[in-house]
Chains A and B, each alone.
Chain A
Amino acid sequence: MKREPPKTLADYTPLFFPAVMLIVFFVIPFSTMIAVSFFRRDPAGFYKPDFVFDNYARFLSLFFANILGFSLMLAVLVAIVCVVVAFPFTYLLTKQSRKVQTIWLVCLLSVLSLSEVIIGFAWSTLFSRTAGITNLAVWLGLMDKPVALLPSFGVVLTGMVYQALPYTILVLYPALVRLDPTLTEAARTLGSSPVRAFLNVVLPALRNTVVATLIMVFVFALGSYLLPQLLGRPQHWTLSVHITDQAIYQSNMPFAAAMAVFLVLISLALVGLTLLAGRRENAL
C-alpha cells in the first residue's frame, strides 16, 4: 500500500499534540537548562543572566572527568548485569504456564511500586553489621563475627540492579513472548542442546531488543542519585549526586546546569554510537 504524502494543513493535525508535548516537556525545560548553564554565578545570590563559559571550564577537570567516567561505567555495568540476569529469566518465564507468568509479573510490578528511598534503606539494613545477612552466616558458623558489607561499590551495584531489573524484564517480556517457537524447535531438531539453541538462535534473533533494553537501563541508571548516596562511599557518588549538591545545597544553578547538560550530551552521544554500531552490523 502506498502512503499518500500529507498535502494540506489538516493532514498534519495528528502531529500537533505530540509536538506540543515535546515542546512543553522537553524543548522548553532543556533550553532553559542550557541557557542557565551559561549564566554567571553570583556567590552572594543566585545567578545573573550572562554568557560565560566559567561553568563549563570548572567542569573540565580531572576530578570531574573521573566522576563522569565512574557514573558512565556504573550505568553501563548496571545495564549489562540487568540484561544478563533478566534475559534468561524472562525467556524461561515465557515457557511457563499463563498462571505462573501472571503471578511473576504481578510480583515484579509490585517491586516497581517501592520508592528509591525504601529500596535504599532496605538494602542498607540487609547489608548492615547489626541486622544484616552476615549475622545469618555467623549463626550458620560460616563467619566469626558479623561485618558491615556497606558502604561499597558492590552494594551500590546490587541496589541499582535490583531497582532496574523489573523494568528490564517488563521491556524484554513482550518481545520474548512473541518469539516464534518454531525457531527453537528447528534448532533442537537439528541437534542443538537447549543452551546452544538459546545462545545461537534466541539471542541473535532478539539482538535489537537486547540493544534497546541495554540503552534504556543505561539511561535509567545514569540518573540515579539516591542509591549511590545511601549505599556507597563518596567516591561512589555519581555525577547526579554532585549536580544535586550544587543545585540544592550550594545554590549554584549555573554549574549544576552545565554538569547536567554535559551528562545529557555524553549519554546521547553514547546512545547514538550504540545505534550506529548496531546499524553497521545489520548492514553487513
Chain B
Amino acid sequence: MKIELTRRTVLGAAIAGASALAMPSVLCAQDKSLKVGVYGGYFKKSFDEHIFPEFTKASGIAVESVAEPTGEAWLVQLEQAAKAGQAPADVSMMSQTSTLKGQSTELWTPIDDKKIKNFADLLPQFVNKYPDGRVAGIGAVAWYITLVTNTDAYPTAPDSWAAFWDPANADKLGLLALVSNSFLLEVTAATFFGGTNALDTEEGLLKAFDKLAEVKPNVRLWYRDEAQFEQALKSGEIPMGQYYHDVTGLAAADGQPVRSTFPKEGGIQDSGNWVISRASEKAEEAHVFIDYMSQPSIQGLMSRKVGTAPTLKKDKLDLTAEEFAAVSSEIQPILPRYDLYTTKADWLNQKWTEMIAS
C-alpha cells in the first residue's frame, strides 16, 4: 500500500483511527448519512477536499470520513466490531490482501452489481469476488509503481525491468524493502518466467527468489521510507529504482531530473477496494456511494485531483491523453499476487528477509 510506507502516516493514521473509534459517532442532522473509512493522511485529505462534498451535493447523503490506520489494524478492528454488531465505518477502503482476509470470515456484505451502473466498464482487476462469484469489493483507488531513473545519469530511458539485473547498474538501485510492498517477485516472474503464474508453486517462488538474489549487488538502498529514496533519486545519488508513477511525474513537472517509465513488461499496479462491513445497516447508501465513485466523471476527477489510476476502461473516461499518461498506461500492468500474501505471508517474509539480509 502506498501510504503504508511512511512511518509518520502510519502512526498518524493509527492515532486518528483510534481516536475516531474511541469517540461515539455523532449522528448527522441529515436524514441520510454514511461513514466512509479512507486511508489517513494524503488520501483522506484529498477525498475530504475534492470528492466527498461533490457526493453529498449529488446524492443528499452526508459523509462522515473516518481515517483508517493502514496495514491490517483496520481489518482487525472492523472484524471485532462486526462480531459485536458494530460498524466503525459502513464503507471502507481496503487493501487487496485485507479484502481477501476479510472474505474468509464473510466480513463483507456482497455488492449487488445491478446497482452499479458502470459495473460492466470496470477493469477486471477492480472487481474482487468471493470464491462463489459474489462481489466482495470494487476498486476504490489504484496506483502504479514503475521503473524510475534520474535523467542526468540515464539520458535514455530503460525499457525493461531487466535493467535492474544489468551488471552495469552495480550499486545504483533503490528498491522497496518489503516483500509485500515491493512486489519484486511478481516483477521477476513477469520479466524472466513468462508471467506471475510462475509463482503458483513453491518451486516457482524459490526460482524467483534465486533470480531476484542476483539483483542484490546492484542495490544501494532497500527503502522503507519514501522520502529517503525520492531525495536520492532527484540528486542522482541513487539514479535508478522503483517508485510511484504519479509522484515521480509531479517531481519531473517541478523540473527535477527524474522520469518514470512503464517497462514493456508493465508497471506494478497496486490498489484498494471499497468494501461494505456486514455489520453496517446502510448497505443501500453504501451502494449509492460505490456507484457514484465508479462513474467515469468521478474517476476522471480523482485522476486529476488525487493522482489515482482510473478503475474504468480507458475509452469510457473523459481524460485527455496527457492526463491519462500522468496516472496510468495502456501497457498491461503487472498485478500483484495478493493471494500469496494471505496464504504464504510468513513463509514469503522469512525467505525475503533471509535473501536481502544475508
Contact = CB atoms under 8 A, between A and B. Distances in A.
Interface residues of B, number: 36
A183 interface: no
Given A44-B104, A45-B75, A151-B220, A249 B180 contact: yes
Given A43-B342, A45-B79, A129-B237, A250 B358 contact: no
A64 to B, nearest CB: 9
B120 interface: no
A128 interface: yes
Nearest to B181: A249
Interface string B325-353: 00000000000000000100110011001
A281 B155 CA distance: 67
B221 interface: yes
B224 A242 contact: no
A248 interface: yes
Interface of B is mostly: helix
Given A230-B228, A245-B178, A251-B72, A43 B10 contact: no
A67 interface: yes
A252 B346 contact: yes
Nearest to B75: A45
B353 A242 contact: yes
B167 to A, nearest CB: 18
A71 B228 CA distance: 23
Contacts of B181: 249
- For chain A, the bracket of interface size reads 20 to 34
A253 to B, nearest CB: 11
Interface string B217-253: 0001110100010001001110000000000000000
A24 interface: no
B356 A234 contact: yes
Contact of B357 (A46, A121, A131, A237): A237
B353 A148 contact: no
Nearest to B350: A58
Interface of B: 4, 7, 10, 71-73, 75-76, 79, 101, 104-105, 171, 177-178, 180-181, 220-222, 224, 228, 232, 235-237, 342, 345-346, 349-350, 353-354, 356-358
